[in-house]
Amino acid sequence: MRKGDTVSEETLDNLVHEGLTFPPPPDFAAQANGTADLYDKAAADHDGFWAEQARTYLTWSTPFTQSLDWSNPPFAKWFADGELNACVNAVDRHVEAGRGDKVAIHFVGEPEGDTRDITYADLHADVQRAANALADLGVGKGDTVAIYLPMIPEAAVAMLACARLGAPHSVVFGGFSAEALHSRIDDAKAKVVITADGGYRRGAPSALKPAVDAALDHGDTSVEKVLVVRRTGQDTAWNDRDLWWHEALEKAAPTHEAQAFEAEHPLFILYTSGTTGKPKGIFHTTGGYLTQAAYTNAVVHDVHRDTDVYWCTADIGWVTGHSYIVYGPLTNGVTQVMYEGTPDTPHQGRWWQIVQDYKVTILYTAPTAVRTFMKWGTDIPAKFDMSSLRLLGSVGEPINPEAWLWYHKHIGGGRAPIVDTWWQTETGAIMISPLPGVTTLEPGSAQKPIPGISAEILDDEGKPFTTPEQVGYLVLTKPWPSMLRGIWGDPERYKETYWSRFGEKYYFAGDGAKYDADGNIWLLGRVDDVMNVSGHRLSTAEIESALVSHPKVAEAAVVGANDDTTGQAVCAFVILRQEAVGEADEAGEGKDLVQELRNHVAKEIGPIAKPRSIMIVSELPKTRSGKIMRRLLRDVAEGREVGDVTTLADSSVMDLIKTGMAKD
């Protein structure tokens, strides 16, 4: 803080709290699922500990006799001789146990008053019909199904129906473009696509199906049929391959006998960004994934089946939605809220209205959302009764202490513990997090691996260290049940990406990390060319290749620059093709062209990847070997003094870029 700055009451308050820790409230600890002895148990017998969780949280049709099989690293098998059905675990068994009338999902559509309560019995009826409808279209064990839906209950039903049939689903986030959808459908060779006419966003229907049509109009496609959920009722172009979801379900037989699959049968594929332009199809299998999703939801989110109303605000298109809307909470039989729309429709208190209306007890969201609410002001949540909240969670990126303290005070009433949960699409479930009834919380740190998980921090040479404040690389040192089993169709890339940086003993997470003096782990962001924008993972290479696919662009470099709200923001630097430079100058079109390029990225990847800024430059800073020095571009994008340029092939380049910047 500089001299002369005015100090807000808020800041003062936070400064007073700095260095403060939060022990678990005794009443919370007394009822918590996660207890201190879990750490000891897991340390004493890692494989046995996980076998016990697999038996505690899941119902097996054929009990397993082996826990971890690591005879062919880095390809793990867990509970391999057991058999189960994920959908039966998430739905049928709750109905069989007499809990069919319990609400599984309180659905809140974006238009006010558009709500539906779906019980476990309702879900059971829906997944059976949906499984039969898919089977009628020829979907069976091992066939892949792409799901491109808004946040509506049908998304969960579609995923579970696939699981019921042993057909791996590949959910593609509804914010991705037709191009991105096409490449994902193609890579997974999906047989059926499940979509909707549209969904509600920012107060209006927003079409989805046209993107599916455009993706499939590429011609050569594996897709035979498209099932279309009617959500908004908007006009929708119709093709021979299209079928209405509600008609297909009506026609389908009402009961479906689920078959059990081997624990290592693939449950789903989920594409995520890596360091190259091509997204990776991360795939997860059934028994281990489901075990850790349910266990972490119980011990970290502390869900109590009979009393909690849980709400995870993620979209089902991301791994958080897979593990903590569909598989974890439903396997645990809890009641949850699912909300379709944006937090400011029709007003900035919408979330808090939902918390009040449904008496939500557990809220799991992302730091970017918390920072947005901070910007909107404390008076907004203050208007609602949120005394039902007893636990808060954070995921997707580091939560800065200021946002943590705000979240704790203004959302959690200074009472609810916060669990800052570190994990990844690849890890399938939470890995590093406090246990809310055990851990003394330290704002800003994800703290410790949960019981059953082992992590270390390595230096450049690959040596583990524990020196406080030294910065290194986070690695995971033991296989875990919900670990990815590979990259779909590319086992070599799997080995190379995750198991080669520090040898085959360590899973390389791609995150920088340090310990503090208390031995708590602080996650410091990605060390590779992956950005984190509002908790969404984006690859610099993918956006660069989208920019270069524009006819006017010769070369592009993308960096993630710090952003107060979104964590990082996409900043691009492009060199135009010679013809385009002339045109842009003559017509004075610079601004239009920037807009055109931003829209082009949205079309190629999706609106989330749209650069915040695009700078047109004549050169990019490169080393003598031709590698773009992103560090220097980041300095420019963040408005800092440019760092060491001695390794540049041409050190005058940065002067040119800075002059260009000053002109804007």
Range 67-96, binding ligand WT7 (CB under 6 A): none
The reply to whether 262 sits near ligand WT7 by the rule CB under 6 A is no
Stretch that binds ligand WT7, among 175-183, 213-221, 415-423, 634-642 (CB under 6 A): 415-423
Sequence-distant (≥ 6) Cβ neighbours of residue 39 within 8 angstroms = 451
Cβ 389 to ligand WT7 shortest distance, Å: 19
**Single-letter amino acid code for the residue at 173:** F
CB of 452 or CB of 567, closer to ligand WT7: 567
Question: What are the backbone angles phi and psi of residue 55, rounded to the nearest 5°?
Answer: -80, -35
Identify the residue among 221, 222, 424, 565 touching ligand WT7 (CB under 6 A): 424
3-state secondary structure of 507: strand
Q: Cα–Cα distance between 544 and 549 in angstroms, integer?
A: 9
Establish how many alpha carbons lie within 13 A of residue 253's alpha carbon, considering only the half-sphere containing its beta carbon: 7
Count the site residues for ligand WT7 by CB under 6 A: 23
Can you say which residues are annotated as belonging to the binding site?
201-204, 320, 396-398, 420-425, 511, 526, 534, 537, 548, 550, 553
Q: Cα–Cα distance between 190 and 184 in angstroms, integer?
A: 9
3-state secondary structure of 297: helix
The reply to whether 422 sits near ligand WT7 by the rule CB under 6 A is yes
Q: H or E element: which one contains 54?
A: helix 46-57
CB of 398 or CB of 472, closer to ligand WT7: 398
Can you say which residues are annotated as belonging to the binding site for CoA?
201-204, 320, 534
Cβ 367 to ligand WT7 shortest distance, Å: 8
3-state secondary structure 585-639: HHHCCHHHHHHHHHHHHHHHCCHHHCCCEEEECCCCCEECCCCECHHHHHHHHCC
Site string for ligand WT7, 524-543 (x = CB under 6 A): --x-----x--x-x------
CB of 261 or CB of 522, closer to ligand WT7: 522
Cβ 584 to ligand WT7 shortest distance, Å: 35
CB of 82 or CB of 428, closer to ligand WT7: 428
Sequence-distant (≥ 6) Cβ neighbours of residue 608 within 8 angstroms = 175, 533, 534, 536, 538
Site string for ligand WT7, 264-303 (x = CB under 6 A): --------x-------------------------------
The reply to whether 510 sits near ligand WT7 by the rule CB under 6 A is yes
CB of 34 or CB of 274, closer to ligand WT7: 274
Range 356-395, binding ligand WT7 (CB under 6 A): 395
Rg (C-alpha) for the chain, rounded Å, is 25
CB of 258 or CB of 523, closer to ligand WT7: 523
Site string for ligand WT7, 431-450 (x = CB under 6 A): ---------------x----
**Single-letter amino acid code for the residue at 376:** W
The reply to whether 420 sits near ligand WT7 by the rule CB under 6 A is yes
Sequence-distant (≥ 6) Cβ neighbours of residue 101 within 8 angstroms = 119, 120, 121
Q: Cα–Cα distance between 601 and 547 in angstroms, integer?
A: 6
Q: Are 409 and 418 in contact, with CB atoms under 8 Å apart? A: no
The reply to whether 396 sits near ligand WT7 by the rule CB under 6 A is yes
Stretch that binds ligand WT7, among 330-338, 356-364, 505-513, 640-648 (CB under 6 A): 505-513
Identify the residue among 51, 523, 570, 584 touching ligand WT7 (CB under 6 A): 523
Q: Which residues pair with 487 in a beta bridge?
A: 282
Stretch that binds ligand WT7, among 183-191, 312-320, 374-382, 475-483 (CB under 6 A): 312-320
CB of 308 or CB of 511, closer to ligand WT7: 511
The reply to whether 636 sits near ligand WT7 by the rule CB under 6 A is no
Can you say which residues are annotated as belonging to the binding site for ATP?
396-398, 420-425, 511, 526, 537
Cβ 568 to ligand WT7 shortest distance, Å: 10
Identify the residue among 47, 110, 397, 402 touching ligand WT7 (CB under 6 A): 397
Q: Cα–Cα distance between 554 and 581 in angstroms, integer?
A: 10
Residue 630 Rama label (left phi>0; alpha psi -120 to 50; beta):
alpha
Q: Cα–Cα distance between 208 and 181 in angstroms, integer?
A: 11
Identify the residue among 89, 170, 286, 320 touching ligand WT7 (CB under 6 A): 320
- CA 202 → CA 312, 345, 535, distances in Å? 20, 6, 20
Angle ∠(649,650,656) on CA atoms, nearest 5: 145
CB of 53 or CB of 445, closer to ligand WT7: 445
Strand residues in 255-308 grouped as ranges (E):
261-262, 266-272, 280-285
Residues in the chain: 664
559: tokens are 């960096």
The reply to whether 321 sits near ligand WT7 by the rule CB under 6 A is no
Cβ 352 to ligand WT7 shortest distance, Å: 23
Can you say which residues are annotated as belonging to the binding site for Mg(2+)?
548, 550, 553
Identify the residue among 232, 421, 482, 540 touching ligand WT7 (CB under 6 A): 421
Binding positions for ligand WT7, rule: CB under 6 A: 272, 318-320, 395-398, 420-425, 446, 509-511, 523, 526, 532, 535, 537
